[in-house]
């Protein structure tokens, strides 16, 4: 079958290029901040600190699509990517975030090769997958980006993180990583520790072994290696091979500030 993109002359309009992918393609580590709140002002405050991306969430947060849309706009003002963790569902639950112009998705609890292939097919355009085409939304500049440009650029400048956080996924790690169109393996140590019966023991040797393995398999297969990271561990995880690190969250900052402010009163 002929490649429909081969003779295509790019049009005057294009999707916004991913800052995360630019950083990683330059051999650097993408810096990410996580949001559990839904206020676009918080997204703008975080984006103004110039991370490469802010992580938005619809898996554990009661955000609406309108909330997400406003947060994406707030980040875009500062040329900062947004990576949206979706709730597991139908293909439309995934592509809607991309069409709002999220730069990447995090899909939780990917279990095996079949699961990862289905996600790839939902989120990647032909010839990688079977993503449905609209083109009338923010990512394609409301039809200004031609359909072939749109499909080609979306496959190249948008990325999907497959979250590895269950023993079943670790058993199937190599087949998942080998799939063309799986852009990133994202190790989730919290849920993995729960699955092992050692909740919260994120430095346990069994967690550390899988943390190292995810990075190794991802990089060996040319994928992004992503995980969460405390600030003191940034250098260690980067040396391990991780090139996408989420450090801190808005709720942690707010809790620490509020607790410190109240503690400042002492025994008054």
Tell me the average pLDDT across 152-174: 97
Q: What is the DSSP letter of 145?
A: S
Model pLDDT for residues 14-31, shown as the tens digit of each residue:
999 999 999 999 999 999
Provide mean pLDDT across the span 59-84: 97
- The pTM of this model reads 0.93
Confidence label for 7 from pLDDT (cuts 50, 70 and 90): very low
Of the chain, the percentage scoring pLDDT greater than 70 comes to 96
Backbone angles phi, psi at 213, to 5 degrees: -70, -40
- Specify the pLDDT at position 268: 87
- Cα–Cα dist 197/194, whole Å: 5
Q: Would you tell me the crossing angle of helices 65-76 and 40-48 to the nearest 10 degrees? A: 30
In percent, how much of the chain has pLDDT > 90?
A: 93
């Amino acid at each position: 079958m002929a490649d429909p993109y081969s003779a295509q002359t790019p049009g005057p309009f294009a999707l916004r290029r991913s800052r995360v992918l630019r950083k990683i393609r330059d051999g650097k580590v993408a810096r990410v901040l996580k949001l559990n709140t839904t206020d676009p002002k918080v997204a703008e405050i975080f984006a103004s600190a110039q991370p490469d991306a802010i992580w938005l969430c619809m898996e554990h947060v009661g955000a609406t699509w309108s909330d997400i849309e406003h947060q994406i706009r707030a980040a875009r003002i500062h040329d900062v990517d947004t990576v949206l963790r979706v709730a597991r569902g139908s293909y439309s639950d995934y592509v809607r975030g991309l069409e709002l112009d999220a730069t990447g998705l995090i899909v939780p609890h990917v279990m095996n090769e079949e699961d990862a292939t289905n996600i790839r097919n939902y989120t990647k355009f032909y010839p990688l997958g079977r993503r449905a085409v609209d083109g009338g939304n923010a990512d394609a500049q409301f039809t200004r980006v031609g359909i072939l440009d749109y499909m080609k650029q979306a496959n190249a400048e948008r990325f999907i993180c497959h979250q590895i956080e269950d023993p079943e996924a670790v058993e199937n790690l190599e087949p998942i990583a080998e799939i063309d169109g799986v852009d990133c393996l994202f190790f989730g140590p919290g849920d993995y520790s729960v699955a092992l019966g050692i909740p919260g023991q994120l430095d346990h040797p069994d967690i550390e072994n899988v943390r190292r393995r995810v990075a190794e398999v991802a990089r060996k297969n040319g994928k992004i290696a992503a995980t969460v990271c405390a600030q003191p561990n940034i250098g260690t995880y980067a040396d391990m091979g991780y090139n996408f690190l989420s450090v801190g969250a808005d709720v942690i900052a707010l809790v620490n500030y509020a607790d410190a402010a109240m503690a400042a009163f002492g025994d008054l």
